[in-house]
Structure 1
Protein backbone atom coordinates (compact mmCIF):
# COMPACT_ATOMS: atom_id res chain seq x y z
CA UNK A 1 0.00 0.00 0.00
CA UNK A 2 0.95 3.35 -0.78
CA UNK A 3 0.98 5.94 2.05
CA UNK A 4 0.43 9.58 1.41
CA UNK A 5 1.67 12.10 3.85
CA UNK A 6 -1.08 14.70 4.41
CA UNK A 7 0.72 16.28 7.27
CA UNK A 8 2.42 19.16 5.41
CA UNK A 9 -0.92 20.24 3.90
CA UNK A 10 -2.53 19.89 7.23
CA UNK A 11 0.26 21.87 8.78
CA UNK A 12 -0.10 24.52 6.14
CA UNK A 13 -3.85 24.60 6.59
CA UNK A 14 -3.54 24.85 10.35
CA UNK A 15 -0.93 27.60 9.92
CA UNK A 16 -3.20 29.42 7.48
CA UNK A 17 -6.13 29.11 9.89
CA UNK A 18 -3.93 30.34 12.71
CA UNK A 19 -2.90 33.34 10.62
CA UNK A 20 -6.52 34.05 9.68
CA UNK A 21 -7.62 33.77 13.30
CA UNK A 22 -4.73 35.96 14.36
CA UNK A 23 -5.55 38.52 11.65
CA UNK A 24 -9.22 38.34 12.64
CA UNK A 25 -8.24 38.74 16.28
CA UNK A 26 -6.06 41.76 15.42
CA UNK A 27 -8.88 43.22 13.31
CA UNK A 28 -11.40 42.67 16.11
CA UNK A 29 -8.99 44.13 18.65
CA UNK A 30 -8.50 47.17 16.42
CA UNK A 31 -12.25 47.54 16.02
CA UNK A 32 -12.78 47.21 19.77
CA UNK A 33 -10.00 49.73 20.38
CA UNK A 34 -11.55 52.11 17.83
CA UNK A 35 -15.00 51.73 19.45
CA UNK A 36 -13.51 52.26 22.93
CA UNK A 37 -11.56 55.32 21.75
CA UNK A 38 -14.65 56.65 19.94
CA UNK A 39 -16.85 56.15 23.01
CA UNK A 40 -14.20 57.69 25.24
CA UNK A 41 -13.84 60.73 23.00
CA UNK A 42 -17.63 60.98 22.72
CA UNK A 43 -17.96 60.88 26.52
CA UNK A 44 -15.19 63.42 26.89
CA UNK A 45 -16.89 65.67 24.34
CA UNK A 46 -20.23 65.32 26.16
CA UNK A 47 -18.52 65.97 29.49
CA UNK A 48 -16.91 69.09 28.03
CA UNK A 49 -20.30 70.19 26.70
CA UNK A 50 -21.87 69.57 30.13
CA UNK A 51 -19.11 71.56 31.80
CA UNK A 52 -19.60 74.42 29.35
CA UNK A 53 -23.36 74.29 29.92
CA UNK A 54 -22.79 74.12 33.68
CA UNK A 55 -20.47 77.15 33.55
CA UNK A 56 -23.00 79.06 31.45
CA UNK A 57 -25.78 78.17 33.88
CA UNK A 58 -23.62 79.15 36.85
CA UNK A 59 -22.86 82.48 35.17
CA UNK A 60 -26.56 82.92 34.42
CA UNK A 61 -27.44 82.10 38.04
CA UNK A 62 -24.76 84.51 39.27
CA UNK A 63 -26.17 87.24 37.00
CA UNK A 64 -29.69 86.55 38.21
CA UNK A 65 -28.53 86.59 41.84
CA UNK A 66 -26.77 89.90 41.20
CA UNK A 67 -29.93 91.25 39.59
CA UNK A 68 -31.99 90.02 42.54
CA UNK A 69 -29.52 91.68 44.93
CA UNK A 70 -29.73 94.95 42.98
CA UNK A 71 -33.54 94.73 42.88
CA UNK A 72 -33.68 94.03 46.62
CA UNK A 73 -31.38 96.98 47.30
CA UNK A 74 -33.54 99.20 45.10
CA UNK A 75 -36.70 97.96 46.83
CA UNK A 76 -35.15 98.68 50.23
CA UNK A 77 -34.11 102.13 49.03
CA UNK A 78 -37.61 102.70 47.60
CA UNK A 79 -39.20 101.61 50.88
CA UNK A 80 -36.85 103.95 52.73
CA UNK A 81 -37.75 106.84 50.41
CA UNK A 82 -41.46 106.04 50.70
CA UNK A 83 -41.18 106.02 54.48
CA UNK A 84 -39.30 109.31 54.33
CA UNK A 85 -41.93 110.74 51.97
CA UNK A 86 -44.74 109.60 54.26
CA UNK A 87 -42.94 111.21 57.19
CA UNK A 88 -42.56 114.44 55.21
CA UNK A 89 -46.24 114.27 54.17
CA UNK A 90 -47.30 113.81 57.80
CA UNK A 91 -45.04 116.65 58.83
CA UNK A 92 -46.40 118.88 56.04
CA UNK A 93 -49.98 118.00 57.04
CA UNK A 94 -49.12 118.77 60.66
CA UNK A 95 -47.60 122.08 59.61
CA UNK A 96 -50.69 122.92 57.52
CA UNK A 97 -52.94 122.11 60.46
CA UNK A 98 -50.82 124.23 62.80
CA UNK A 99 -50.79 127.07 60.29
CA UNK A 100 -54.57 126.76 60.02
CA UNK A 101 -54.79 127.01 63.81
CA UNK A 102 -52.58 130.08 63.78
CA UNK A 103 -54.77 131.62 61.06
CA UNK A 104 -57.83 130.98 63.25
CA UNK A 105 -56.31 132.71 66.27
CA UNK A 106 -57.40 136.21 65.12
CA UNK A 107 -60.96 134.88 64.80
CA UNK A 108 -60.77 133.42 68.31
CA UNK A 109 -59.38 136.62 69.78
CA UNK A 110 -62.09 139.06 70.91
CA UNK A 111 -62.28 142.39 69.06
CA UNK A 112 -60.85 144.69 71.69
CA UNK A 113 -58.05 142.26 72.63
CA UNK A 114 -54.71 141.50 71.08
CA UNK A 115 -52.23 138.69 71.36
CA UNK A 116 -48.96 139.57 73.05
CA UNK A 117 -47.31 136.16 72.68
CA UNK A 118 -48.10 132.95 70.79
CA UNK A 119 -45.90 129.90 71.19
CA UNK A 120 -46.62 126.57 69.52
CA UNK A 121 -43.93 124.06 70.45
CA UNK A 122 -44.59 120.39 69.99
CA UNK A 123 -48.18 119.85 71.04
CA UNK A 124 -48.23 122.68 73.55
CA UNK A 125 -49.77 126.05 72.68
CA UNK A 126 -49.17 129.05 74.93
CA UNK A 127 -51.00 132.32 74.39
CA UNK A 128 -50.56 135.62 76.17
CA UNK A 129 -53.35 138.10 75.42
CA UNK A 130 -53.97 141.67 76.51
CA UNK A 131 -57.19 143.71 76.59
CA UNK A 132 -58.61 146.85 78.16
CA UNK A 133 -61.91 145.08 78.83
CA UNK A 134 -61.97 142.20 81.33
CA UNK A 135 -65.03 140.62 79.68
CA UNK A 136 -63.24 140.38 76.30
CA UNK A 137 -60.16 138.77 77.79
CA UNK A 138 -62.24 136.18 79.65
CA UNK A 139 -64.08 135.28 76.41
CA UNK A 140 -60.78 134.12 74.94
CA UNK A 141 -60.66 131.15 77.31
CA UNK A 142 -64.19 130.11 76.31
CA UNK A 143 -63.39 130.39 72.61
CA UNK A 144 -60.19 128.38 72.99
CA UNK A 145 -62.07 125.63 74.86
CA UNK A 146 -64.65 125.43 72.06
CA UNK A 147 -61.94 124.87 69.41
CA UNK A 148 -61.84 121.13 68.49
CA UNK A 149 -58.07 121.17 67.98
CA UNK A 150 -57.34 122.32 71.53
CA UNK A 151 -57.96 120.42 74.73
CA UNK A 152 -56.87 120.78 78.34
CA UNK A 153 -57.01 124.56 78.14
CA UNK A 154 -55.53 125.87 81.40
CA UNK A 155 -55.30 129.36 82.76
CA UNK A 156 -51.74 130.00 83.85
CA UNK A 157 -51.97 133.62 84.89
CA UNK A 158 -54.55 136.37 84.79
CA UNK A 159 -54.20 139.88 86.11
CA UNK A 160 -54.42 143.61 85.61
CA UNK A 161 -51.64 146.17 85.30
CA UNK A 162 -52.26 149.89 84.63
CA UNK A 163 -55.80 149.45 83.33
CA UNK A 164 -54.71 146.62 80.98
CA UNK A 165 -55.95 143.09 81.62
CA UNK A 166 -53.59 140.30 80.69
CA UNK A 167 -54.11 136.58 80.32
CA UNK A 168 -51.67 133.69 79.94
CA UNK A 169 -53.22 130.41 78.73
CA UNK A 170 -51.76 127.00 77.97
CA UNK A 171 -53.46 124.30 75.90
CA UNK A 172 -52.58 120.99 74.35
CA UNK A 173 -52.78 120.97 70.59
CA UNK A 174 -54.23 117.85 68.99
CA UNK A 175 -53.54 117.30 65.30
CA UNK A 176 -56.37 116.31 62.99
CA UNK A 177 -56.25 112.77 61.69
CA UNK A 178 -57.59 112.19 58.17
CA UNK A 179 -58.01 108.45 58.49
Structure 2
Protein backbone atom coordinates (compact mmCIF):
# COMPACT_ATOMS: atom_id res chain seq x y z
CA UNK A 1 0.00 0.00 0.00
CA UNK A 2 1.44 3.34 -0.99
CA UNK A 3 1.75 6.09 1.62
CA UNK A 4 -0.19 8.48 -0.61
CA UNK A 5 -3.28 6.28 -0.81
CA UNK A 6 -6.47 8.26 -0.40
CA UNK A 7 -8.65 7.71 2.65
CA UNK A 8 -12.40 7.63 2.08
CA UNK A 9 -13.82 9.16 5.28
CA UNK A 10 -17.41 8.05 4.61
CA UNK A 11 -16.23 4.46 4.09
CA UNK A 12 -14.15 4.56 7.27
CA UNK A 13 -17.18 5.77 9.21
CA UNK A 14 -19.39 3.07 7.68
CA UNK A 15 -16.88 0.33 8.50
CA UNK A 16 -16.46 1.60 12.06
CA UNK A 17 -20.24 1.57 12.48
CA UNK A 18 -20.29 -2.21 11.97
CA UNK A 19 -18.95 -2.81 15.49
CA UNK A 20 -18.90 -1.16 18.87
CA UNK A 21 -16.36 -1.79 21.60
CA UNK A 22 -17.82 -2.71 24.98
CA UNK A 23 -15.21 -3.10 27.75
CA UNK A 24 -12.65 -4.31 25.21
CA UNK A 25 -15.01 -6.69 23.43
CA UNK A 26 -16.44 -6.22 19.97
CA UNK A 27 -20.19 -6.15 19.54
CA UNK A 28 -21.44 -6.37 15.98
CA UNK A 29 -24.07 -4.02 14.66
CA UNK A 30 -27.28 -5.39 13.18
CA UNK A 31 -27.15 -7.08 9.80
CA UNK A 32 -28.55 -4.06 7.96
CA UNK A 33 -25.67 -1.81 9.02
CA UNK A 34 -23.10 -4.45 8.10
CA UNK A 35 -24.71 -4.96 4.67
CA UNK A 36 -24.71 -1.19 4.05
CA UNK A 37 -20.99 -0.99 4.87
CA UNK A 38 -20.24 -3.94 2.60
CA UNK A 39 -22.21 -2.38 -0.25
CA UNK A 40 -20.34 0.89 0.22
CA UNK A 41 -16.97 -0.89 0.28
CA UNK A 42 -17.84 -2.62 -2.98
CA UNK A 43 -18.46 0.73 -4.66
CA UNK A 44 -14.92 1.78 -3.72
CA UNK A 45 -13.45 -1.50 -4.91
CA UNK A 46 -11.39 -1.84 -8.06
CA UNK A 47 -13.10 -3.13 -11.16
CA UNK A 48 -11.24 -5.70 -13.24
CA UNK A 49 -9.73 -3.08 -15.53
CA UNK A 50 -9.67 -0.17 -13.06
CA UNK A 51 -6.49 1.48 -11.80
CA UNK A 52 -4.56 -0.67 -9.36
CA UNK A 53 -4.23 2.23 -6.90
CA UNK A 54 -7.99 2.17 -6.44
CA UNK A 55 -7.44 -1.07 -4.53
CA UNK A 56 -4.76 0.64 -2.44
CA UNK A 57 -7.20 3.41 -1.56
CA UNK A 58 -9.78 0.87 -0.39
CA UNK A 59 -7.12 -1.00 1.62
CA UNK A 60 -5.91 2.23 3.25
CA UNK A 61 -9.45 3.12 4.26
CA UNK A 62 -10.08 -0.34 5.69
CA UNK A 63 -6.77 -0.13 7.59
CA UNK A 64 -7.78 3.25 9.05
CA UNK A 65 -11.11 1.80 10.21
CA UNK A 66 -9.33 -1.23 11.68
CA UNK A 67 -6.89 1.04 13.55
CA UNK A 68 -9.69 3.19 14.97
CA UNK A 69 -11.62 0.16 16.24
CA UNK A 70 -8.54 -1.61 17.57
CA UNK A 71 -7.41 1.55 19.37
CA UNK A 72 -10.65 1.39 21.34
CA UNK A 73 -9.98 -2.24 22.27
CA UNK A 74 -6.39 -1.46 23.33
CA UNK A 75 -7.53 1.53 25.41
CA UNK A 76 -10.07 -0.68 27.17
CA UNK A 77 -7.59 -3.43 28.11
CA UNK A 78 -4.52 -1.36 28.98
CA UNK A 79 -5.59 -0.61 32.57
CA UNK A 80 -5.28 -4.37 33.24
CA UNK A 81 -1.63 -4.42 32.17
CA UNK A 82 -0.26 -0.95 31.45
CA UNK A 83 3.31 -2.11 30.86
CA UNK A 84 2.86 -5.10 28.59
CA UNK A 85 0.42 -5.97 25.87
CA UNK A 86 0.04 -9.40 24.27
CA UNK A 87 -1.93 -9.54 21.03
CA UNK A 88 -3.50 -12.75 19.74
CA UNK A 89 -5.96 -13.74 17.07
CA UNK A 90 -5.67 -13.23 13.35
CA UNK A 91 -5.71 -9.45 13.68
CA UNK A 92 -2.50 -9.67 15.68
CA UNK A 93 -0.75 -10.29 12.35
CA UNK A 94 -1.42 -6.69 11.28
CA UNK A 95 2.18 -5.51 11.60
CA UNK A 96 1.36 -2.10 10.12
CA UNK A 97 -0.84 -1.37 13.11
CA UNK A 98 1.17 -3.28 15.72
CA UNK A 99 4.28 -1.25 15.00
CA UNK A 100 2.53 1.88 16.25
CA UNK A 101 1.11 0.60 19.54
CA UNK A 102 4.10 0.96 21.88
CA UNK A 103 4.74 4.57 20.89
CA UNK A 104 1.13 5.72 20.78
CA UNK A 105 0.00 4.02 23.98
CA UNK A 106 3.27 4.25 25.92
CA UNK A 107 3.48 0.48 26.36
CA UNK A 108 6.84 -1.01 27.31
CA UNK A 109 6.33 -4.28 25.46
CA UNK A 110 4.02 -5.45 22.69
CA UNK A 111 4.18 -9.20 22.09
CA UNK A 112 2.61 -11.17 19.28
CA UNK A 113 2.97 -14.92 19.85
CA UNK A 114 4.29 -17.07 17.05
CA UNK A 115 0.82 -18.53 16.45
CA UNK A 116 -1.61 -15.67 17.02
CA UNK A 117 -4.34 -17.09 14.77
CA UNK A 118 -6.83 -19.82 15.55
CA UNK A 119 -4.20 -22.01 17.19
CA UNK A 120 -3.28 -19.13 19.48
CA UNK A 121 -6.94 -18.63 20.30
CA UNK A 122 -6.92 -22.16 21.70
CA UNK A 123 -4.16 -21.11 24.10
CA UNK A 124 -6.23 -18.09 25.11
CA UNK A 125 -9.28 -20.27 25.68
CA UNK A 126 -7.24 -22.60 27.87
CA UNK A 127 -5.95 -19.62 29.83
CA UNK A 128 -9.49 -18.29 30.37
CA UNK A 129 -10.61 -21.74 31.55
CA UNK A 130 -7.68 -21.88 33.98
CA UNK A 131 -8.52 -18.40 35.28
CA UNK A 132 -12.13 -19.47 35.78
CA UNK A 133 -11.12 -22.71 37.55
CA UNK A 134 -8.65 -20.97 39.84
CA UNK A 135 -10.78 -17.83 40.32
CA UNK A 136 -7.87 -15.68 39.09
CA UNK A 137 -8.94 -12.21 38.00
CA UNK A 138 -5.72 -11.45 36.15
CA UNK A 139 -2.36 -12.95 35.35
CA UNK A 140 0.33 -11.46 37.55
CA UNK A 141 3.25 -11.81 35.16
CA UNK A 142 3.45 -13.37 31.74
CA UNK A 143 6.61 -14.64 30.11
CA UNK A 144 6.58 -13.21 26.61
CA UNK A 145 8.90 -15.78 25.03
CA UNK A 146 8.96 -19.38 26.21
CA UNK A 147 12.18 -21.02 27.32
CA UNK A 148 12.73 -24.38 25.72
CA UNK A 149 15.78 -25.56 27.68
CA UNK A 150 13.62 -28.01 29.63
CA UNK A 151 12.48 -29.85 26.48
CA UNK A 152 13.81 -33.39 26.32
CA UNK A 153 15.40 -34.78 23.18
CA UNK A 154 12.76 -36.83 21.36
CA UNK A 155 13.09 -40.60 21.35
CA UNK A 156 14.45 -42.68 18.51
CA UNK A 157 12.40 -42.32 15.35
CA UNK A 158 10.98 -45.72 14.44
CA UNK A 159 10.53 -44.89 10.79
CA UNK A 160 13.96 -43.44 10.04
CA UNK A 161 15.95 -45.09 12.85
CA UNK A 162 17.59 -41.77 13.68
CA UNK A 163 17.49 -39.52 16.68
CA UNK A 164 15.89 -36.15 16.17
CA UNK A 165 17.44 -33.33 18.20
CA UNK A 166 15.64 -30.30 19.49
CA UNK A 167 17.97 -27.36 20.20
CA UNK A 168 17.81 -25.84 23.68
CA UNK A 169 17.39 -22.36 22.21
CA UNK A 170 15.49 -22.30 18.92
CA UNK A 171 16.78 -19.72 16.49
CA UNK A 172 13.36 -18.71 15.27
CA UNK A 173 10.63 -16.92 17.17
CA UNK A 174 8.13 -19.71 16.77
CA UNK A 175 9.39 -21.61 19.78
CA UNK A 176 9.87 -24.58 17.49
CA UNK A 177 13.03 -25.98 16.03
CA UNK A 178 13.51 -24.49 12.56
CA UNK A 179 14.07 -28.00 11.22
CA UNK A 180 14.46 -31.51 12.51
CA UNK A 181 18.02 -32.75 12.29
CA UNK A 182 19.20 -36.33 12.17
CA UNK A 183 22.47 -37.58 13.56
TM-score by length of 2: 0.16
Larger Rg: 1
TM norm structure 1: 0.17
Where is the strand percentage greater, Structure 1 or Structure 2? 1
